[in-house]
Structure 1
Amino acid sequence: MSRPVKGTAAVQPLDLAASDEKTTVAMAIELSHLKKSYALKPVLRNIDLVLPRGQRLALLGANGAGKTTLLRILAGLSKAGSGTVFIEGLDSRYELQEIRRQIGFVAHQPYLYEELTVLENLLFFGQLYAVAQTRERAMMLLQRVGMERRSNERIRALSRGQVQRVAWARALLHAPSLLLLDEPDTGLDQNGNQLVQALLDEHTARGGSMLFTTHNLERALSWSDRIVILAGGRVVYQHETASLTHEELVQRYQEVVR
């Protein structure tokens, strides 16, 4: 299985300059001393994490480990308690709107309006992100995810898998440089999973980066360049996937996740 290898509002190809050994590696994500609590209960504890631009990171951990909270902070949907968050070199404390233009987010919640049609949803989000030729871009993406024929149906009339396909079109509409994916295969059948892999291939082939969560360890290995495991709100393990077997990952996961 193949591995999935800064867009603008006008949806131009990603322009990521090649670097030599003397050039500092550009980071898609930089987290330093990140902490988050809910009702005085720590959820994230002193997270330090980097994702070089163009790479893919799988975030693993048991339910309640802090994965979704971390993704929501990265997506600008929740604020960190303390620490710093930089996305594509932008400080989330001061440049949140610009950060949101760099991010495509796919999660359990589709972030679509049920009373609007499929196309109306994409046109609405296209206006928010000032996407040029929004209708043409939206229809192209709906065709790509197999939802072109349902463009005039309301979201509430679709199946869970169909809604997830539209959510993917929404996330890709503004050609983001960074994809944040919280179990991106939720609600999808085998064809849907193959579509997700193809979309990720296309994104990373253009130089895009991604961070995703999954409970499927085999998929985590095949889709990522690096594995990070959270437990109790801390990073307890990380390893490059090129030198990691499935058996080794299973063993390490069982050792560090309680």
Structure 2
Amino acid sequence: MNEQNNPTSSHPIIQVQELRKDFGYLQALSGVSFNLNKGDFLTIFGPNGAGKTTLIKILTGLMRPTSGSAIIDGFDALEGNSMLRSRIGVISHATCLYPDLTALENLLFYAKLYDLDDPEERANKSICASGLQLRRHDPVRIYSRGMQQRLAIARATLHDPSVLFLDEPFTGLDLTATNGLKNKLHDLHKDKRTLIMTTHDISCGLEMCDKVAIQNKGKFLFLESIDRIDRESFETLYTETLEK
């Protein structure tokens, strides 16, 4: 792993130390450690079975590790703290939307779940920001895949989280929807949100991030700043790293 933690940098918003997850004899995570500062965007590349989704599930409180620690925005990610849940958002290829509810009803449900002030105003504002205001009263089941993903982003950012986790968010999106998602992620990055994204799409992943990791067999084999990477030869670097 190439990048060393910088002791002179600002206090990390994410601190992950020696995370390990065992499923019986299978070790899904094997001592993953990294720090991120506020506003960092980390893209994690790796093949299927590398442990990327397991890592995201642990950091978002959906799964407990076998050992290790994770602090996010000052809260222990392993305790299932409600204050932590109010500071993170999750976007994946599964949209976590209720198909028979309208877009507005979906966001109202989550606004009330997060106990937000003026839930209807927050939901409508978020729908408008996603460009779905003319379809707000349509059931989500008739939305295209791209529209559902736009609504999923609205859901994940409704409560103004400081950290966003994105697990293969480009899966199943057409070119128009992919470009729309990239634009939204650019905006979130400029807004100093901290983002962790897993993806197989090397082009999209490199385009938006400022840190890159390669994960395989439960370990980070590579972690580096994007400005120290030759993007043109990264695919070769990726392949060679996995073969080591």
Q: Under a length normalisation based on structure 2, what TM-score does the superposition of the two structures give?
A: 0.90
Contact 1:231 1:256 in 2 (8 A): no
Deviation, structure 1 residue 114: 2.0
Deviation, structure 1 residue 24: 5.5
| Whole-Å separation in 1 of the counterparts to 2:70 and 2:33 | 10
**1:206 aligned partner:** 191
| Whole-Å separation in 1 of the counterparts to 2:80 and 2:121 | 29
Q: Does 1:174 align with 2:159?
A: yes
Deviation, structure 1 residue 23: 7.2
Q: Does 1:78 align with 2:68?
A: no
Deviating more after overlay: 130-139 vs 171-180: 130-139
Deviation, structure 1 residue 205: 2.3
Deviation, structure 1 residue 228: 0.5
Deviation, structure 1 residue 179: 0.9
| Whole-Å separation in 2 of the counterparts to 1:155 and 1:39 | 39
Q: Does 1:32 align with 2:13?
A: no
Q: Does 1:197 align with 2:182?
A: yes
Q: Does 1:117 align with 2:102?
A: yes
**1:141 aligned partner:** 126
Question: Which amino acid counterpart does residue 210 of structure 1 have in structure 2?
Answer: L
Deviation, structure 1 residue 139: 1.7
**1:131 aligned partner:** 116
| Whole-Å separation in 2 of the counterparts to 1:247 and 1:195 | 24
Question: Which amino acid counterpart does residue 239 of structure 1 have in structure 2?
Answer: E
Per-residue CA deviation, residues 127-156 of structure 1 (Å, 9 max, x unaligned), is 111222222222222222222222112222
Q: 1:104 aligns with which of 89, 93, 107?
A: 89
Unaligned runs of 5+ in 1: 1-20
Contact 1:56 1:211 in 2 (8 A): yes
Please state whether the residue corresponding to 2:223 is helix, strand or coil. Answer: strand
Contact 1:145 1:195 in 2 (8 A): no
Q: 1:232 aligns with which of 217, 235, 241?
A: 217
Contact 2:58 2:78 in 1 (8 A): no
| Whole-Å separation in 1 of the counterparts to 2:7 and 2:242 | 38
Task: List structure 1 segments (4+ residues) > 6 angstroms apart after TM superposition.
Answer: none
**2:149 aligned partner:** 164
| Whole-Å separation in 2 of the counterparts to 1:53 and 1:147 | 30
| Whole-Å separation in 2 of the counterparts to 1:204 and 1:64 | 28
Question: Which amino acid counterpart does residue 85 of structure 2 have in structure 1?
Answer: R
| Whole-Å separation in 1 of the counterparts to 2:66 and 2:99 | 32
Deviation, structure 1 residue 82: 0.9
Unaligned runs of 5+ in 2: 1-5
**1:245 aligned partner:** 230
Q: How many aligned residue pairs are there?
A: 238
Contact 2:19 2:65 in 1 (8 A): yes
Q: Under a length normalisation based on structure 1, what TM-score does the superposition of the two structures give?
A: 0.86
| Whole-Å separation in 1 of the counterparts to 2:65 and 2:154 | 28
**2:72 aligned partner:** 87
Per-residue CA deviation, residues 33-52 of structure 1 (Å, 9 max, x unaligned), is 10112233110001111111
Question: Which amino acid counterpart does residue 204 of structure 1 have in structure 2?
Answer: H
| Whole-Å separation in 2 of the counterparts to 1:126 and 1:29 | 25
Contact 1:164 1:186 in 2 (8 A): no
Please state whether the residue corresponding to 2:134 is helix, strand or coil. Answer: helix
**2:42 aligned partner:** 57
